[in-house]
């Protein structure tokens, strides 16, 4: 009787999970394994085994190196920046401030607005004759061709922060609400100042949230490609030529080896990164627990 | 003193909030300008040597007109067709994703089986990959199945995205185990538990997922460019980015119509959106990744 029930349960579990797993296998996992094999041969049919040669070719490619460096610079500047700004804003909004709910909503709206419908604004804003230069002119600062100079990275970072800040504010806000107010009161009694409270209470208890914010910020930083692509097309100024441009263009030129090898390398980097992040998080959670 | 400080803070925050909204505000007001006025404001005078001429950033139209809306909604059929293209792509993705994700999420949240954690870790990795990485595996499969240039080429990979499973699991994990045990004791089958307990108790999660998935897919740009060859099948996002350059005179109104469904949904579903995002924090002990290397 019991084992019959158990068997039925196993079948039902399979029925529930099968559609998702089969979809994942067909569209992601199986082709990904195929990709790894493909990357080790010089041609897909009757190819010769070339080992790491495709990877070596990729790593010595000038455009690829440029794209990796740009993507790394963008991520390393924009992710810490957005985290600091959104943490600061969430802490301000967490205090008793008039209209704090409405202000929060205003920060979330850009998240909802489709990229393609605001790209027109950003084009006009960062144009050589655009709004930003107009404002700068007012302060006697000479015009800058934002999208077609090394300043382009600043423009992209601005758009990224504008678009994604709401996401992080929601996460931090939820994290802040989860910290018991008694901790602060107790610290006040012990004579702790606002700075000590920030470092010893807020920051410590926000750690789990912060880890997730880092992950989300990086995922979203990959998505900024949409904006850059819609403003600047396939070949933007070289300072904002990202890995996604490189892969898109490799796809268009049917250069599958470069595309496949760079996709695998990027997956590897993401994997290592997530792994380390989870490890650190676990360590910190344990130390808070003690 | 501190009250004055709070006042200054509030004013600064409101100013910042207005800056955040400014792109939308400008688009709205410009959508009521005539093409001629827009031309005058944003004409590019490349030949002029004078370096200090700028676009005029005008928020109030000289004369208010609905001409742009008339042009895109009534005079030009292309716009509306592209709008429906977007709808026909996005709705099946959202519906499919909600159904398939809730089913799998229930298993991940409430049932035990071998290799569950490893499998879930794979979901997280796939969720993090940028589109350009998954593009290759997707393309290989779609090509083999002969789906390139069909809407299903965009719909299927969207439906099977890993994010939905991840998010729904976060909601379903919050359902008390006692509820499920009690139902088991009463002789409910697993499917009955899923339909009568898990689904009703995670309505908020379903709404969140639907909204987040709607936003993400309404935004899509890369997939149609790569998987669709026939430009008549393109969704509105692609069409919009084209008219920004060629027909600025109608682009503002087109942008407004395009963002309107999102804004309406946000108006009604802001709480679901906020809850969905807050819930997505990975803070439960459910996934132990330390064993998978």
What does the domain layout of chain A look like in residue ranges?
A: 56-289
Share of chain B above pLDDT 70, in %: 92
Those residues with Cβ within 8 angstroms of residue A218's Cβ, 6 or more apart along the chain or in another chain: A75, A79, A273, B128
pLDDT of residue A10: 85
Share of chain B above pLDDT 90, in %: 27
A/B interface, count of CB pairs below 8 Å: 284
Those residues with Cβ within 8 angstroms of residue B280's Cβ, 6 or more apart along the chain or in another chain: A171, A212, A216, B166, B167, B170
Interface touch B132/A248, C-beta < 8 Å = yes
Interface touch A208/B129, C-beta < 8 Å = no
Chain B nearest CA to A217, separation (Å): 11
Q: Is B122 on the interface with A (CB under 8 A)?
A: yes
Q: Is B95 on the interface with A (CB under 8 A)?
A: no
* Cα dihedral sign, B140-B132-B81-B40: negative
Structure-model confidence comparison of residues B194 and A134, the more confident one: B194
Averaged pLDDT for residues B51-64: 74
pLDDT of residue B46: 55
Cα(A149)–Cα(A134) distance, integer angstroms = 18
pLDDT of residue B276: 85
pLDDT band at B283 (very low <50, low <70, confident <90, very high): low
H helices of A190-252, in order, are: 194-197, 203-205, 207-232, 243-252
Chain A residues within an 8 Å CB radius of B270 = 105, 108
Interface touch A247/B215, C-beta < 8 Å = no
Chain B residues within an 8 Å CB radius of A116 = 219, 221, 236-238, 240-241, 255, 258
pLDDT of residue B287 exceeding 60, the answer is no
Unique residue bearing structure tokens 């969905």: B276
Those residues with Cβ within 8 angstroms of residue B54's Cβ, 6 or more apart along the chain or in another chain: A129, A130, A131, A133, A134, A137
Interface-testing mutation among B140, B223, B263, B284, with chain A (most A C-beta atoms within 10 A): B140
Interface touch A103/B123, C-beta < 8 Å = no
Interface touch B241/A230, C-beta < 8 Å = yes
pLDDT of residue A205: 84
Q: Is B143 on the interface with A (CB under 8 A)?
A: no
Question: If you measure CA to CA, which chain A residue comes closest to B161?
Answer: A24
pLDDT of residue A1: 46
pLDDT of residue B54 exceeding 90, the answer is no
For B244, the closest of A23, A98, A123 (CB atoms) is A123
Averaged pLDDT for residues B78-93: 92
pLDDT of residue B285 exceeding 60, the answer is no
Interface touch A118/B289, C-beta < 8 Å = no
CATH superfamily of A56-289: MetI-like (1.10.3720.10)
Q: Assess contact for A216 and A171: CB atoms under 8 A.
A: yes
Q: Which of A107-111, B122-126, B284-288 has the lowest mean pLDDT?
A: B284-288
Q: Assess contact for A264 and A34: CB atoms under 8 A.
A: no
Cα(A205)–Cα(A199) distance, integer angstroms = 10
pLDDT band at B290 (very low <50, low <70, confident <90, very high): very low
Q: Assess contact for B253 and B68: CB atoms under 8 A.
A: yes
Unique residue bearing structure tokens 């699991």: B169
pLDDT of residue B282 exceeding 80, the answer is no
Cα(B94)–Cα(A22) distance, integer angstroms = 18
User: What does pLDDT average to over chain B?
Assistant: 84
Interface-testing mutation among B82, B97, B137, B275, with chain A (most A C-beta atoms within 10 A): B137
Chain A nearest CA to B116, separation (Å): 11
Interface touch A23/B160, C-beta < 8 Å = yes
Per-residue pLDDT for chain A (290 aa), expressed as one digit of tens each? 456 677 888 888 889 999 999 999 999 898 888 888 888 887 766 778 888 888 988 888 999 999 999 999 999 999 999 999 999 999 988 887 788 888 999 999 999 998 888 888 888 888 877 788 888 888 888 878 888 888 889 999 999 999 999 989 999 998 898 888 888 888 888 888 888 888 888 888 888 788 878 888 888 888 888 888 888 888 888 888 999 899 888 888 888 888 899 999 988 988 888 888 878 877 877 776 65
> Fold for domain B71-291?
MetI-like fold (1.10.3720)
Tokens of A158: 């601005």
pLDDT of residue A82: 96
Question: If you measure CA to CA, which chain A residue comes closest to B132?
Answer: A244
pLDDT of residue B50: 56
ipTM of the complex: 0.85
Cα(A160)–Cα(A132) distance, integer angstroms = 17
pLDDT of residue A74: 93
pLDDT band at B106 (very low <50, low <70, confident <90, very high): very high
Chain B residues within an 8 Å CB radius of A275 = 289, 292-293
For B20, the closest of A19, A110, A174 (CB atoms) is A110
pLDDT band at B61 (very low <50, low <70, confident <90, very high): confident
pLDDT band at B293 (very low <50, low <70, confident <90, very high): very low
Chain B nearest CA to A123, separation (Å): 9
How many Cα atoms are found within 13 Å in the side-chain-facing hemisphere of B172?
A: 27
The pLDDT tens digits for B154-192 are 999 999 989 899 889 988 988 888 888 888 888 888 888
DSSP sequence for chain B: -HHHHHHHHHHHHHHHHHHHHHHHHHHHHHTTS-HHHHHHHH----S---TT------SS-SS---HHHHIIIII-HHHHHHHHHHHHHHHHHHHHHHHHHHHHHHHHHH---TTHHHHHHHHHHHHHS-HHHHHHHHHHHHHHTT-TTSTHHHHHHHHT-HHHHHHHHHHHTTS-HHHHHHHHHTT--HHHHIIIIIHHHTHHHHHHHHHHHHHHHHT--HHHHHH---GGG--HHHHHHHHHHH-HHHHHHHHHHHHHHHHHHHHHHHHHHHHHHHHT---STT--GGG--
For A119, the closest of B126, B241, B266 (CB atoms) is B241
Q: Assess contact for A94 and A177: CB atoms under 8 A.
A: yes
Averaged pLDDT for residues B196-205: 90
Cα(B150)–Cα(B156) distance, integer angstroms = 11
pLDDT of residue B292: 41
Chain A residues within an 8 Å CB radius of B54 = 129-131, 133-134, 137
Residue count of chain B: 293
pLDDT of residue B284 exceeding 60, the answer is no
The pLDDT tens digits for B32-45 are 888 778 777 777 65
Cα(B43)–Cα(B32) distance, integer angstroms = 18
pLDDT of residue B44: 62
- At A136, phi and psi to the nearest 5? -60, -40
Question: If you measure CA to CA, which chain A residue comes closest to B142?
Answer: A27
């Amino acid at each position: 009787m019991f084992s019959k029930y158990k068997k039925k349960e196993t079948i039902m579990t399979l029925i529930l999970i099968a559609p998702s797993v089969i979809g994942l296998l067909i569209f992601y996992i199986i082709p990904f394994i195929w990709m790894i094999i493909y990357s080790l041969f010089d041609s897909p049919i009757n190819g010769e085994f070339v080992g790491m040669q495709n990877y070596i070719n990729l790593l010595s490619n000038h455009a690829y190196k440029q794209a990796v460096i740009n993507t790394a610079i963008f991520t390393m500047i924009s992710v810490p920046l957005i985290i600091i700004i959104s943490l600061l804003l969430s802490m301000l909004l967490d205090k008793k401030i008039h209209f704090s709910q409405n202000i929060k909503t205003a920060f979330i709206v850009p998240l909802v607005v489709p990229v393609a419908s605001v790209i027109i604004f950003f084009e006009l804003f960062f144009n050589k004759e655009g709004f930003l230069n107009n404002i700068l002119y007012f302060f006697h600062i000479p015009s800058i061709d934002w999208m077609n100079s090394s300043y382009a990275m600043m423009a992209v970072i601005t758009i990224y922060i504008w678009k994604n800040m709401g996401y992080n504010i929601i996460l931090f806000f939820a994290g802040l609400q989860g910290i018991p107010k008694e901790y602060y009161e107790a610290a006040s009694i012990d004579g702790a100042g606002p700075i000590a409270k920030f470092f010893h209470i807020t920051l410590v208890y926000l750690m789990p949230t912060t880890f997730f914010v880092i992950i989300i910020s990086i995922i979203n930083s990959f998505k900024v490609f949409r904006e850059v692509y819609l403003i600047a097309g396939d070949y933007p100024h070289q300072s904002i030529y990202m890995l996604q441009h490189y892969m898109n263009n490799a796809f268009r030129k049917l250069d599958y080896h470069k595309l496949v090898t760079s996709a695998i390398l990027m997956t590897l980097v993401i994997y290592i990164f997530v792994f380390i992040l989870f490890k650190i998080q676990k360590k910190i959670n344990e130390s808070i627990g003690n | 003193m501190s009250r004055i400080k709070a006042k200054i803070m509030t004013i600064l925050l409101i100013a910042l909030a207005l800056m955040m909204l400014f792109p939308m505000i400008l688009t709205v007001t410009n959508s009521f300008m005539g093409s001629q006025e827009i031309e005058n404001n944003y004409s590019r005078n490349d030949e002029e040597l004078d370096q200090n001429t700028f676009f005029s950033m005008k928020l109030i139209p000289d004369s208010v007109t609905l001409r742009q809306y008339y042009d895109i909604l009534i005079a030009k059929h292309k716009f509306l067709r592209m709008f429906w293209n977007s709808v026909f792509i996005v709705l099946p993705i959202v519906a499919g994703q909600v159904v398939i994700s809730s089913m799998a999420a229930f298993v991940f949240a409430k049932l035990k089986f071998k290799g569950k954690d490893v499998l879930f870790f794979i979901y997280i990795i796939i969720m993090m990959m940028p589109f350009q990485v998954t593009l290759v595996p997707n393309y290989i499969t779609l090509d083999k199945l002969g789906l390139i240039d069909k809407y299903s080429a965009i719909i299927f990979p969207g439906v099977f995205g890993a994010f939905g499973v991840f998010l729904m699991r976060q909601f379903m994990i919050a359902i008390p185990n006692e509820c499920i045990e009690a139902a088991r004791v009463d002789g409910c089958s697993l499917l009955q538990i899923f339909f009568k307990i898990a689904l009703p108790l995670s309505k908020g999660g379903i709404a969140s997922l639907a909204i987040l998935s709607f936003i993400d897919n309404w935004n899509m740009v890369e997939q149609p460019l790569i998987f669709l060859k026939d430009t008549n099948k393109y969704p509105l996002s692609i069409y919009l980015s084209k008219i920004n350059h060629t027909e600025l005179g109608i682009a503002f109104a087109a942008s407004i119509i395009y963002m309107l469904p999102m804004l309406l949904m946000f108006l009604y579903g802001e709480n679901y959106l906020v809850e969905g995002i807050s819930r997505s924090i990975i803070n439960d002990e459910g996934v132990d990744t330390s064993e998978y290397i």
